[in-house]
Structure 1
């Protein structure tokens, strides 16, 4: 999530703006923690920052900082690099993330200045800028040329009805969130990727991904190309997020794989199902993976599965129902302005949006 945009003021000239460099990481993490708390892992570590912004297979994140005359960093803005594919072409994109302004310097136009300068910087290399702003920051984005493209719905599957009901009542009563580790019987994604053969790739994954890519090649919606390096980075190497893996096989061959993570959601234990990949047309494999997610030990499963996919069709028959008043707002623009119609249709799973 991003900090709320401020209106510009003339005293912004007191600050200087420069590219983020490696030596800035400790000060940036301190600023992000003070403004946005601990992030998805609960603690903003240098390892997570490095994974997100420097080990990303799509490239290193461009970033800017606002600095006082004394050298103190009081504002930061990063754009996470991303790539979407539509039919036979790559759409290079960036996603605004990790934005903060020190409370003592809010109202000076720092947010807007960092954003406009970074947009200019990436204008020659990115076709699309997209993010999921919260309700507080969305109006400011709209004033800066973003378009709201709709709500990304979340579907739930209740796995333990009594426990879920107790947790929901506790949440409504605003009772303190539970603490402690979450027990999950599923193997870790890191371990699964680490079990690969001589080339490091789990058996059957390359063939599964090749078949999936061929089947999706004619779909004109924007989607992430699910390659082995991307999946390994996204789920196997993510520090502090405890992604788990589910697999199913047909005749000894890998027919599907899914990734998700157990997490505490207030008084509830949620299994966030991030990605489901199956062979073309294999709804049975998708249903098997969806059932495995429901047996992960959580009170419920939360997911978003792209419309028209085998997983989305299987979810309707596996007890996954769209949850009211949930989801994320999707907003986007091009560096030059409005989003053209051909970039307005999307095919993504929850893993493309959560965490970042």
Structure 2
């Protein structure tokens, strides 16, 4: 018997207990390097309106938690069907207990627990370390969902790239290269921002009848009304008012919405979340992006102008009608692929019921924005 199999027998796998929360949050900071609060845990797991329990499986050693397999519950819509779905998230094993088969044990227990068809399926975007484990337990690779970036401050972006390249400044020659690049980029910053603004305004015709409203937090009822105007047939989060209210109550993020009204009626919306040096396009409406392209592009220009001082703007999946039109480039292709590590995500899915066969789907049958991701 191999050592990993033998040592794995000392562990037990069980459902989450409220007493596990403190260990979960402590381990989260250890594994992911980010602190999360009890309010965040309550929002994400206890107050999630799409599940009646805390959907976390725990691996313990003599009663002490050493690993967690967690799930982010959502309602996903496919045509007229609205189905419960779980997105595996925040999976972690304490560094002292890795390579002992705990990921497999947690996966097996989760499949066993939810094999009754509620949820209808799992879907997620595993990293390179967990793809093999997901395949082993029945997940199927569906396809790649693109990420797009619009660079707005070359100096900051180049500085981050240099920092990511294993402290390049430790080498005198490399430090010199970085200094020259930074000086050139600093000189270009104002030119880049001005060029972006001019280009945006030339692309979009200002519509006198269009009113733009900004709000923090976003108005859930209004967003749901815009969503209902044009619902796509593809698989996506069912955007009810209740969903929006819960989703934007995330205490770890701040969300701002831009709503376009024509003759008083809301016709398009855009939601962003802001960080220190960048901003993310979280959601756009209508989800059938050709539903009101002119209004959506006017909102995009307004948001880009408000956040012109940020280093870059990120979009994920089907968020923009024409990314290249507004100088959003995929990080899997040149020019960005030469300087940035790709963040495009590979979609995996696993059937748990007969309502829908997600394992046979393709990337084209899903419509994602960052709103479907558990991390935004």
Q: Same fold (TM over 0.5)?
A: yes
Contact 1:155 1:321 in 2 (8 A): yes
Give the CA deviation at 1:8: 5.1
Q: Is the 8 A contact 1:276 1:289 kept in 2?
A: no
Give SS of 1:240's match: coil
> 1:57 is paired with a residue of what secondary structure?
coil
Q: SS at the partner of 1:226?
A: coil
1:342 deviates by: 4.9
The normalised TM-score by structure 2 is 0.75
Q: Spell out, residue by residue over 1:129-180, the C-alpha distance to the aligned partner (whole angstroms, 9 max, x if none).
A: 111111222222223322222221112233x3xxx2111221222179xxxx
Find the aligned partners of 1:109 and 1:47 in 2 and give their Cα distance.
Answer: 31
SS where residue 230 of structure 2 aligns? helix
Alignment match, 1:253:
265
2:15 is matched with which residue? 19
The answer as to whether partners of 1:290 and 1:318 remain within 8 angstroms in 2 is no
Matches within 5 A, 1:235-254: 235=248, 237-254=249-266
Provide the residue aligned with 2:360 in structure 1.
341
Moved more, 297-306 or 125-134: 297-306
Q: CA deviation at 1:122?
A: 0.8
What is the match of residue 230 of structure 1?
243
Provide the C-alpha distance between the structure 2 equivalents of 1:224 and 1:249, rounded to a whole number of angstroms.
24
CA contact (8 A) 1:152 1:330 kept: yes
Structure 1 residue 282 displacement after superposition: 1.1
CA contact (8 A) 1:278 1:285 kept: no
Q: 2:198 matched to which residue of 1?
A: none
With over 3 angstroms needed to count, the CA separation of the structure-2 counterparts of 1:83 and 1:34, relative to structure 1, is: same
Cα distance change on mapping 1:291 and 1:305 into 2, 3 Å = farther
Partner of 1:132: 125
Question: 2:326 aligns to what SS in structure 1?
Answer: coil
Going from structure 1 to structure 2, the CA distance change for 1:64 and 1:273 (only over 3 Å counts) comes to same
Whether the 8 Å contact between 2:142 and 2:359 is mirrored in structure 1 is no
Q: Is the 8 A contact 1:48 1:239 kept in 2?
A: yes
Partner of 1:72: 64
Matched, 1:170 2:159: yes
Larger Rg: 2
Matched, 1:270 2:278: yes
Q: CA deviation at 1:349?
A: 1.2
Equivalent residue number for residue 344 of structure 2: 327
Partner of 1:209: 227
Deviations 1:20-77, CA, capped at 9 Å, x for gaps: 0222111111122212221xxxx211111111112222224421212222x3111111
Inter-CA distance 17–187: structure 2 relative to 1 (3 Å threshold): same
Secondary structure at 1:257 match in 2? strand
User: Which residue pairs with 1:3 in the alignment?
Assistant: none
Matching residue of 1:180: none
Query: Aligned pair count?
Result: 309
Contact 2:58 2:67 (8 Å CA) reproduced: yes
Does the CA contact (< 8 Å) of 1:32 and 1:99 recur in 2? no
State yes or no: 1:62 paired with 2:81. no
Do the aligned partners of residues 317 and 106 (structure 1) sit closer, same or farther apart at CA in structure 2, a change above 3 Å counting?
closer
Give the one of 202, 216, 238 matched to 1:189. Answer: 216
Partner of 2:296: 286
Call closer, same or farther: CA 1:138–1:254 in 2, change over 3 Å. same
Q: Matched residue of 1:32: which SS?
A: helix
Separation in 2, partners of 1:65, 1:207: 39
Q: Which has the higher helix share?
A: 2
Match runs of 1:78-157 below 5 Å:
78-124=70-116, 125-157=118-150
Deviations 1:297-323 (Å, cap 9, x if unpaired)? 2232211242xxxx6325443333333
Give the alignment's Cα RMSD to 1 decimal.
2.6
Aligned partners of 2:25, 2:80: CA distance in 1, in Å?
39
Q: Measured at CA, do residues 326 and 19 of structure 1 come closer, stay the same or move farther in structure 2, by a change above 3 Å?
A: closer
Are residue 300 (structure 1) and residue 300 (structure 2) matched?
Answer: no
Structure 1 runs of 4+ aligned residues shifted over 4 Å read 336-339
In 1, Cα distance between the equivalents of 2:101 and 2:71? 18
**Aligned residue in 2 for 1:181:** none
**Of residues 51, 66, 76 in structure 1, which corresponds to 2:43?**
51
CA contact (8 A) 1:255 1:279 kept: no
Q: 1:15 to 1:205 in 2, by over 3 A?
A: closer
Give the TM-score taking structure 1 as reference length.
Answer: 0.78
